[in-house]
Amino acid sequence: MFLSATCLAGVFFTLGVTATSSLDPRWQADTRGNTDPTPTVDKSRFVSTDGANFQVNDSNFRFIGTNAYWLPALNTDEDIDAVLSNISHSNITVVRLWAFNDVSTIPENGTWFQLLANGTTSVNLNETNGLPKLDRPSLQIISMAEKHGIYLLMTLTNNWNPMPHDNITNTTNTPMLRRDVATNNSLPRNSLSSDYGGMDGTYQAEQITQTIIAAFENYTTQIVSRYVNSTSVLSWEIANDPRCNSSIGATPSCNTNTITRWHDRIATKIKSIDPNHLVSSGTQGFFCADCPKIFQRTPAPPAGPSPAANSRRQRKAVPLTNKRILEERKEARKKTRALQIQSQSPSGVKVRGKWVATPTRRQEAVGMGSAFDGSTGVDSEDILNIPNIGFGSFQLFPDQNQYAPDDPNLPAFNNTLQAGLDWIQRHGESSQMFGKPVTLTGFGLVTQDNAPSFVPFNSTVAPFANDQIGNLTSDLGRLPFGVTDQQRDDAYTQWLQQGILSGLGGMIQYQWGQGNLTAVNGTPITPAITENGIVPVQSQNGISPSDGYSIAGVGQEAVQATLQGAAQQFVPDA
Ligand SMILES: *[C@@H]1O[C@H](CO)[C@@H](O)[C@H](O)[C@H]1NC(C)=O
Ligand SMILES: *[C@@H]1O[C@H](CO)[C@@H](O)[C@H](O)[C@H]1NC(C)=O
Ligand SMILES: *[C@@H]1O[C@H](CO)[C@@H](O)[C@H](O)[C@H]1NC(C)=O
Ligand SMILES: *[C@@H]1O[C@H](CO)[C@@H](O)[C@H](O)[C@H]1NC(C)=O
Ligand SMILES: *[C@@H]1O[C@H](CO)[C@@H](O)[C@H](O)[C@H]1NC(C)=O
Ligand SMILES: *[C@@H]1O[C@H](CO)[C@@H](O)[C@H](O)[C@H]1NC(C)=O
Ligand SMILES: *[C@@H]1O[C@H](CO)[C@@H](O)[C@H](O)[C@H]1NC(C)=O
Ligand SMILES: *[C@@H]1O[C@H](CO)[C@@H](O)[C@H](O)[C@H]1NC(C)=O
Ligand SMILES: *[C@@H]1O[C@H](CO)[C@@H](O)[C@H](O)[C@H]1NC(C)=O
Ligand SMILES: *[C@@H]1O[C@H](CO)[C@@H](O)[C@H](O)[C@H]1NC(C)=O
Ligand SMILES: *[C@@H]1O[C@H](CO)[C@@H](O)[C@H](O)[C@H]1NC(C)=O
Ligand SMILES: *[C@@H]1O[C@H](CO)[C@@H](O)[C@H](O)[C@H]1NC(C)=O
């Protein structure tokens, strides 16, 4: 019997367990340098919302961010400092990271936050390798110019786990095995974003009892209490990519209402502990216009003009219906067909580089598609409408999800590009409709260079790892997987621009990459691997982990420049 971990976590809230936490006294104060032991926290310094805008210090706040799930797992303070310093030099003001790191046995080396073993949980408060490491990004911010502070989007758990299906057991104290990335290779713990524990980890390491179900809220309570006064926290993100299925199957009864109710319970719980910070969801942002709603759609307040009010490219927001989506798709095809006929030349349409649809991406020729039909259990509009959810979140990963049926008049890369633009625009409309900010919390394309490290979210292997490329390319005559660096830069530039025009509150690229880090065996920053080519070797020093999207290496400067270019559009009076 497999129960959805998502649904299990939701059950907890009937139990009413209250955790007590032991706090390091330094963190009971405002972590931005206020040393007064009984500080009066200035509420305007927390990120809040006013209609569809974020606000800080009574001014609108929009941001470009980056993902560095691995940041707290780095081996030295200097490395954490260096990464945040480089990030801020690109004028990036938000970093999204994993504020969880579960283990079922205490590792010899490396970071861990929570031990789940023998039916009990305990949080690691060791300064060197435990939860206090999370405090350090805040410390780093203190040393930066106040004007360019970085905010942290703290994700509390993950929907994904690296454990292959066969290894999921309910026996006590089963070690969490690493997800194999290629034949004869095991990545170190914490390399992949799905390898930090989370809902499935809890499920797999313990008996299914109410005690473990309680553990998620216990942890949430402890960490949220710990940083309740920190002005460096942008928001508590409930989970990365919550939905009915995870690495294990869903209960048949799980639907969009199950997931919406689960968010409502957790958001309400977090707000009861921490009224200072916003709470957000972390879903992929799937829509379901026809799904029954729990929260009635309330019209957005007329309030101030949205950031994109004068944009020609942003349509006026009207309620989402399946009929409208299908009509818009038909219209778009008419236009591309007309353009194709108009521009027909002997050489046909040329696209730089090659791009192929992949077996990891579900193909849907007809119907609304899984991004719009509620099949994942996510109805992002109903979730956005939850009173204690401060802003909306969505993601854009065309290598893993299909956002619209492919338009036969467009080359594959252009379909990817256009589907992303439409997806962003639709979420901008959602922001206007519901009068709350909406944020793109992760977007990325796998490039040909990164393909060997790409592990799709529900796979156990990197399908394009080097030792398989011979089979895929030569023997079967397949094209290389992934876009060129130039196509990536083109797509990122256009998506960011669309997000700015559509009035998104923020956009967070996936994922940062960093070289010259301190390497220690048994941690995600290991000495360079040479024999299997998984890690691009640029130096003898460590390089940050990648699950297929890192910007480390060739092309890094171009992506940084793209992000910086977008960030500078948010500067007041620019
Ligand atoms: C947060 O600050 C308030 C005073 O504004 C204080 O009463 C409370 O104890 C602080 N909480 C923590 C966890 O530091
Ligand atoms: C962008 O970052 C650079 C380098 O840190 C800094 O000098 C500049 O003031 C920043 N620009 C904005 C608009 O924040
Ligand atoms: C769990 O219990 C077993 C058997 O008593 C013991 O060997 C093991 O060390 C325990 N694990 C932890 C992490 O305490
Ligand atoms: C909650 O966390 C505390 C501290 O880590 C631990 O002692 C306690 O056993 C946990 N409770 C549950 C129900 O997991
Ligand atoms: C904290 O962890 C470090 C690194 O594993 C270890 O050397 C040290 O003994 C631990 N400290 C305590 C108080 O357990
Ligand atoms: C875990 O699963 C893999 C393949 O699915 C299998 O080869 C391995 O033996 C399993 N390990 C355990 C401890 O069950
Ligand atoms: C867990 O394992 C025990 C036996 O080890 C079994 O009786 C029980 O049904 C299992 N529970 C689930 C949910 O699979
Ligand atoms: C992930 O794979 C497992 C095992 O194959 C399956 O049960 C589950 O439904 C899959 N989840 C998704 C979201 O596809
Ligand atoms: C496809 O995208 C490329 C790069 O943005 C662009 O130059 C080209 O005109 C597009 N082709 C079509 C048919 O839209
Ligand atoms: C190569 O592809 C063939 C056909 O799909 C398959 O049977 C074989 O196992 C593959 N070999 C390797 C080394 O992956
Ligand atoms: C490491 O640092 C050196 C010297 O600053 C620099 O030239 C090199 O590009 C860096 N390597 C990486 C992978 O960032
Ligand atoms: C832990 O680190 C030490 C020192 O670098 C190393 O000797 C040891 O092999 C590492 N352990 C593991 C399991 O990688």
| Gap from CA of 339 to ligand 9 centroid (Å) | 11
Length of the chain equals 574
The continuous run of DSSP H or E covering 121 comes out as: strand 120-123
Q: Which atom of ligand 9 is nearest to the CA of 339?
A: 13
Contacts of 302 (CB under 8 A, 6+ apart): none
Residue nearest to atom 12 of ligand 5 (CA): 126
45, 509, 428, 327: CA torsion to nearest 10: -170
- The helix-helix angle for 485-501 and 556-567 (nearest 10°) equals 10
What is the number of the ligand 8 atom nearest to the C-alpha of 2? 7
Nearest of 386, 390, 388 to residue 378 by alpha carbon: 386
Does the residue 45 lie in any domain? no
| Contact residues of ligand 7, CB 6 A cut-off | 1, 170, 208
Query: Is residue 539 within 6 Å of ligand 11 at its C-beta?
Result: yes
Please give the distance, rounded to the nearest whole angstrom, from the Cα atom of residue 467 to the centre of ligand 12: 27
Pocket of ligand 5 (CB under 6 A): 126, 128-129
Q: Has residue 399 been placed in a domain?
A: yes
Longest C-alpha distance within the chain, in Å?
A: 75
pTM: 0.84
Q: Which atom from ligand 7 is nearest to the alpha carbon of 3? A: 13
Which atom number of ligand 4 is nearest to the Cα of residue 222? 2
Q: Which residues line ligand 2 (CB under 6 A)?
A: 89, 91, 148, 568, 571
Query: Rounded CA gap, 525 and 523, in Å?
Result: 5
Work out the angle at residue 299's Cα, subtended by the Cα atoms of residues 297 and 303, and round it to the nearest 5 degrees.
145
Tell me the ligand closest to 523's alpha carbon.
12
Is 548 a member of any domain?
yes
Nearest CA to ligand 1 atom 2: 229
Nearest-angstrom CA–CA distance, 98 and 190: 11
Kindly report the backbone phi and psi dihedral angles of residue 48, in degrees, each rounded to the nearest multiple of 5, phi listed first: -130, -170
Is residue 263 a contact partner of residue 294, using CB atoms and an 8 Å limit?
no
Q: Which ligand is nearest to the CA of 165?
A: 8
Domain for residue 541, yes or no? yes
CA of 90 to the centre of ligand 9 (A): 28
The C-alpha atoms of residue 81 and residue 218 are separated, in whole angstroms, by 30
3-state secondary structure of 270: helix
* Ligand lying closest to the C-alpha of residue 107: 12
Q: Which of 22, 23, 26, 28 to mutate to test the pocket of ligand 1 (most atoms within 8 A of CB)?
A: 28
Atom of ligand 6 nearest to the CA of 460: 5
What is the predicted pLDDT for the residue at 466? Answer: 56
CA of 371 to the centre of ligand 9 (A): 24
Please give the Cα distance from 255 to 267 (Å, whole number): 19
Say if ligand 8 is within 6 A of residue 458 CB.
yes
224 contact partners, CB below 8 Å, separation of at least 6: 236, 270, 273, 274
How far does the centroid of ligand 2 lie from the alpha carbon of residue 115, in Å?
A: 41
User: In one letter, which amino acid is 420?
Assistant: G
Cβ atoms of residues 156 and 239 within 8 Å:
yes
Residue 574 located in a structural domain: no
Q: What is the number of the ligand 9 atom nearest to the C-alpha of 349?
A: 13
pLDDT for 312? 46
Q: 119: Cβ below 6 Å to ligand 8? A: no
Domain tally for the chain? Answer: 1
For ligand 9, residues with CB inside 6 Å are 349, 351, 410, 414, 490
pLDDT confidence of residue 176: 42
- Bridge-partner residues for 391, per DSSP? 280
Q: Per the omega criterion (within 30 degrees of 0), is the bond before 511 cis?
A: yes
Q: Is the C-beta atom of 186 inside 6 A of ligand 12?
A: no
Rounded to the nearest angstrom, the distance between the alpha carbon of 448 and the centre of ligand 1 is 49
Return the ligand number nearest the Cα of 90. 2
Q: Is the CB of 460 under 6 A from ligand 8?
A: no
Q: Would residue 261 count as lying in a domain?
A: yes
- Whole-angstrom CA distances from 251 to 135, 463, 501 are 37, 28, 40
Residue 419: CATH number of its domain: 3.20.20.80
| Assigned domain for 47 exists | no
Range of the domain at 444: 5-27+59-567
Structure tokens, 509? 């690229």
- 164 ligand 6 Cβ < 6 A: yes
170 CA distance to ligand 7 middle (Å): 6
- Ligand number nearest CA of 520 is 12
Q: How far away, in angstroms, is 325 Cα from ligand 6 center? A: 44
- Ligand 10: residue whose CA is nearest its atom 8: 471
**Any idea which ligand is nearest the CA of 2?**
7
d(CA 128, CA 110): 9
Q: How far, in Å, is the centroid of ligand 11 from the Cα of 516?
A: 6
Residue 44, in any domain of the structure: no
Alpha-carbon dihedral sign for residues 396, 399, 404, 406? positive
Q: Which atom from ligand 4 is nearest to the alpha carbon of 123?
A: 5
Two tokens at 329? Answer: 């798709």
From first to last of the 574 residues of the chain, give the pLDDT tens digit.
Answer: 222 333 333 222 222 222 222 222 223 333 333 334 445 567 888 999 999 999 998 999 999 999 999 999 999 888 888 898 899 999 999 999 999 998 888 999 999 999 887 777 899 999 889 988 887 655 543 333 333 478 999 999 998 876 544 444 444 444 444 555 444 456 788 888 888 887 765 554 444 455 556 778 889 999 999 888 888 889 999 999 999 887 766 778 889 999 999 899 999 999 999 999 999 999 999 999 999 999 987 665 544 455 544 444 556 778 899 999 999 999 999 999 998 888 764 333 333 333 333 334 444 445 899 999 999 999 999 999 999 999 999 999 999 999 999 999 999 999 999 999 999 999 999 999 999 999 999 999 999 888 878 888 776 667 766 554 444 444 443 456 889 999 999 999 999 999 999 999 999 999 999 988 998 888 999 876 554 444 444 445 788 998 899 998 778 999 999 999 999 998 764 4
Q: How many helices (H) and strands (E) does the chain have?
A: 12, 16
